[in-house]
Structure 1
Amino acid sequence: MKLAYWMYAGPAHIGTLRVATSFKNVHAIMHAPIGDDYFNVMRSMLSREKDFTPVTTSVVDRHVLARGSQEKVVDNIVRKDAEEHPDLIVLTPTCTSSILQEDLENFVQRAQIESKGDVLLADVNHYRVNELQAADRTLHQIIQFYIEKARKKGDIATTKTEKPSVNIIGISTLGFHNNHDCTELKRLMADLGIEVNEIIPEGASVHNLKNLPKAWFNLVPYRELGMMAAEYLEQEFGMPYIDITPMGVVETARCIRKIQQVINAQGGAVDYDAYIENQTINISQAAWFSRSIDCQNLTGKKAVVYGDSTHAAAITKILSREMGIHVVWAGTFCKYDEEWFREQVSGYCDEVIITDDHGVVGDAVARVEPSAIFGTQMERHVGKRLDIPCGVISSPIHVQNFPIGYKPFLGYEGTNQLVDLIYNSFTLGMEDHLLEIFGGHDTKEVITRGMSADSDMNWSKDGTAELNKIPGFVRGKVKRNTEKFARDRGIEVITAEVLYAAKEAVGA
């Protein structure tokens, strides 16, 4: 087991809680010791929602360890049912409480006898899946539960809506820019004359899940959440689903054309070509900007991309295909989705990195010395240490990813936001250089530690002083090249003379 201070995807119970609490009037009970109960704090600090249903913790303590927890868990479920009258209570253990190997399914069956609402145990292997996989599995489980329940009652909707309609699957609480993306998707569907049948799980009622088959198709904007549900609905009802993320001009157009194909295959008669052309020319500024002198100044600049599968793949294609930026490597922490990711970014980057080890990612960034990084909050910190700008394009979420202003990543307005993010992420002008030339207040100290322990080098006073004279926008590269020069020659202390020699030898 490896101890880490940073995880790109949280533990499985966080994914289950995200889905459960996204639904309206669904309560989650977490069977866990104190220490695992940070979800409420995390959500209240980050998501900036006016109100939300808090998660209840059925605490595993020394009394539980001595006597077992069946009575306590059952009592907590029955009490919550009586107090709050929820439509559904979802019980989930955590990695810690799973060690007890208790029969939680039996606890749920006992509690269901005394509860008026439904009670469900999250069917997730907490040792084998992470937050994203657990969220996908929990959403599928809840949908399947209510579809089968409606079938038994003969209450399931099978007749399609009169007008083309869609279920948008995968919008959830604590999702990266999910609220603004959802607004943009609803606007896009309205422009296309498509009714939104259901949006799940965020803000949805479990009682409406029986109406999912009424839609003409399902749209899954993020691979991380909703794919299992879409595949289930396709298998059970023959509902087609579209998993093309409408991010960037090209992919947004491709998604709309796929929607057109799906609708017309079911008897519709729509043609969205004029809409795509108008949006591309008049609404999205990305197409114009890509031909401007500003964007041409970025042509050939080196960048690296890292994040979840959906965002990392989309940004890689936008950088390479739409903005002419050289993506040295692209990577994802969704190791379970490696095959899809490699297929998506093939031809758009030089190298693919599949890892969830932030140390490996940091070293890979330092190795190629890009002009900009597009990654997560961790890569933003890496960029600060290496003096490389970073645009945040993926979860894990941070309070900055819940902006008060409107900042979608999807659709045509999303393309404008992405162009700004990409362009502004590169070091613009020569600010550091000008500050130094004109006696500015650039007093930042030289970073003498690399991304790995083996890059530590000692700098003499005169060596440090000489390095500080080098313009800030190239100082990091000079430092790393000089340290490599010294290390290769067994030099332990870098003096001004060593710095001069390195510059002559390697052009640092």
Structure 2
Amino acid sequence: MRLSFWSYENPAFVGICGGAMSLKGAEILLVAPRGDSYINVLFSVYKRSIDFTPVTLCTIEKRELSEGAEDKIKEVIENTWKDSPPRLLFIVTTCTAELLKIDFNAIRAWAEYILMTPVIFIESNSFTETESEALDHFMVELIDRFTVHALKTRVPSVNLIGPYYFGFREQSNLEELHSLLSSLEIEINSTFPWKANIESIRYLPAAWANISLSPESSMRTLELLKSQFNQPIVKTIPIGELGIKRFIDELAALGLTDGKLKLSDKDMLYGMGSYIGRADNFAHSVNAEQLRRRKAFVFGSFTQAVGVTRFLAEELHFPVVAAGTYSLALADRFREELAGIDTEVFITNDFKEVRQRIMDTQPDLILATQMEKHIAADLNIPSAIISPPINNEMFPVSFQPIIGYRGAAHLADLIFNPLTVGLEDNLKRMFGEDEDDIEEEVPAV
């Protein structure tokens, strides 16, 4: 079988489902013609905890396709939730279900009346709208429906906007960010949509500011909160130790902290504090010297590509021959973020163009998505996955952040480990590759 098409972003309904599955107390009705329900399998494959959001599948058969599916959908809703309605119900349609002539807004209103619970249907177009855009749309809809004006919290607090079910190493990153903000004496008012509920969404306006963890899927949401509730946006993402410094400086400029870390002896010995400076120490090590004679190629989502490129160039002094993103909507901002770095910046969502750029630049290391890992294997170039789309490496069972101090140390390992440097190079030059030098055994006479 030959790969004929690859998309770096899933269709819109995956973003809506991912957002809904990130919430507490929510349930999903997935409407899909037979054979189009693969998303349920996708959820179960990558789920790493036991609190699995219930997804009820309403399969549209040939009969409903010809006669109308409204009665079938209503029947599923009544049979499933009439006696035990969820706290929040989402009606989600797959790509092909969107093509059916069904008035889902009417079904939503009927279900809300019958179940006496909030029912959400978010209109989307999976043929023109990406997963990231749909997630942004999802958050805007919930804010419009549930938020109220609220007094600001007594002590400095922030909302973490953007983390969700299909984010890159989301759980590890959130744990690390909690530790960092706690050491700066900043409270977290709400994380949205990750682990949010109707109550926490209602009081999003109580925070002093909003931290953007994934601009590609949250800019409309952030601008809405800024315009309606006068909440400034913290745009810096703390990837790398210099990124952390810029992040803290931005928080301090908004009056949220004095910029000084308050860490206990235990933190300094065993926790986040013990990792402060590790990435910087590595950057000045003999091993890191090897990196400066090589060149890297970076490609991924806006957040990951910007963070990793700056970490490579500014902290490890690892030359980056090309840095690109498939986040087309943030093309101008991507160029601005990397304006001071000596690299070829490009924006594309065509994997064939990315492959051609790799072949043209001949990098020593590729840091990109799952697709580029396949390309790297074909071209015999070391690689590591640093960005969505969805793959197993996005959901580690262990603690593997890429933001914060522990994230900087882990990112240094992620970059360095695929390469063969130093002593390994010398050994290869002296003894050669095993598979080339092992002589065939002479059969016994």
TM-score (norm 2): 0.90
1:237 aligns with 2:229: yes
Give identity over the alignment, percent. 32
For 2:419, give the aligned amino acid.
F
The answer to whether the 8 A contact 1:329-1:349 is kept is no
Consecutive unaligned residues of structure 2, counting only runs of 5 or more, are: 438-445
Aligned residue in 2 for 1:358: 351
Considering only CA atoms, is the larger Rg found in Structure 1 or Structure 2?
Answer: 1
Alpha-carbon RMSD across the aligned residues, in angstroms, is 2.3
- Matched with 2:169 is 177
Counterpart residue number, 1:117 = 117
- 1:424 aligns with one of 414, 417, 422: 417
- Alignment of 1:400 onto 2:393: yes
**Match of 2:434, SS?**
coil
For the 8 Å contact 2:136–2:219, the answer to whether it is kept is yes
Q: Displacement, 1:339?
A: 1.4
* 1-structure distance, mates of 2:161, 2:204: 10
Show the counterpart of 1:260. 252
Residue of structure 2 equivalent to 1:332: 325
* Superposition deviation, residue 51 in structure 1: 2.9
Q: Which moved more, 1:79-88 or 1:130-139?
A: 79-88
1:273 CA displacement = 4.8
Name the counterpart of 2:336: 343
Shift of 1:190: 0.8
- Mapped pair 1:215 → 2:202: no
Partner of 2:315: 322
Deviation at 1:47?
2.9
Equivalent position of 1:188 in the other structure: 180
The CA deviation at 1:129 is: 0.9
Distance 2:143 2:418 in 1: 40
Partner of 1:382, secondary structure, is helix
CA distance in structure 2 between the aligned counterparts of 1:84 and 1:174, rounded to whole angstroms: 28
Kindly provide the CA deviation profile for residues 166-201 of structure 1, in whole angstroms up to 9, marking residues without a partner as x. 111112112110000000111111101111111121
1:432 deviates by 7.6
Structure 1 equivalent of residue 33 of structure 2: 33
String of CA shifts for 1:237-285, please: whole Å, max 9, x gaps: 1111212111111121111111112125xxxxx4215669x98996131
Letter of the 1:120 partner, please give it.
I
Listed one character per residue, the Cα deviations across residues 136-165 of structure 1 (whole Å, up to 9, x for unaligned) are 211221122112xxxxxxxx3511111111
Given the alignment, which residue of 271, 277, 288 partners 2:258?
271
**What does 1:362-381 align with in structure 2 at a 5 Å threshold?**
362-381=355-374
SS at match of 2:82: helix
Distance between the aligned counterparts of 2:224 and 2:217, measured in 1?
A: 13
Contact 1:248–1:314 (CA<8 Å) still a contact in 2?
A: yes
Q: Secondary structure at the match of 1:409?
A: coil
CA contact (8 A) 2:296 2:321 kept: yes
1:288 alignment counterpart: 281
Alignment of 1:96-135 (within 5 A): 96-135=96-135
Specify whether residues 263 and 140 from structure 1 end up closer, same or farther in structure 2 by C-alpha distance, changes over 3 A only: same
**1:97-148 C-alpha deviation (Å, 9 max, x unpaired):** 222242211221222221221111113222211111111211221122112x
**Partner Cα distance (2:158, 2:36) in 1:** 37
Distance 1:274 1:123, change over 3 A: same
User: What is residue 142 of structure 2 aligned with on the other side?
Assistant: 142
1:182-233 deviation per Cα after TM superposition (whole angstroms, max 9, x unaligned):
0011111110111111112121112321111111111111113332222111
1:14 aligns with 2:14: yes
Which residue of the partner structure matches residue 298 of structure 1? 291
Q: Among residues 243, 248, 254, which one is paired with 1:251 in the alignment?
A: 243
Describe the SS at the equivalent of 1:426. coil
Relative distance call for 1:88 and 1:143 in structure 2 (3 A) is same
1:443 positional shift: 5.5
- Counterpart of 1:48, as a letter, is R
Residues 212/59 of structure 1: CA separation in 2 closer, same or farther (3 Å cut)? same
Go from structure 1 to structure 2 and tell me whether the alpha carbon gap of 1:284 and 1:73 turns closer, same or farther (over 3 Å shift): farther
| Residue of structure 1 equivalent to 2:440 | none
How big is the shift at 1:383? 0.9
Show CA shifts across 1:416-444 (max 9, x none): 11111112232224748845853653269
Q: Which residue of 2 aligns with 1:62?
A: 62
- Offset at 1:300? 4.3
Q: Give 2:129's aligned amino acid.
A: V
Equivalent residues of 2:33, 2:61 under 8 A apart:
yes
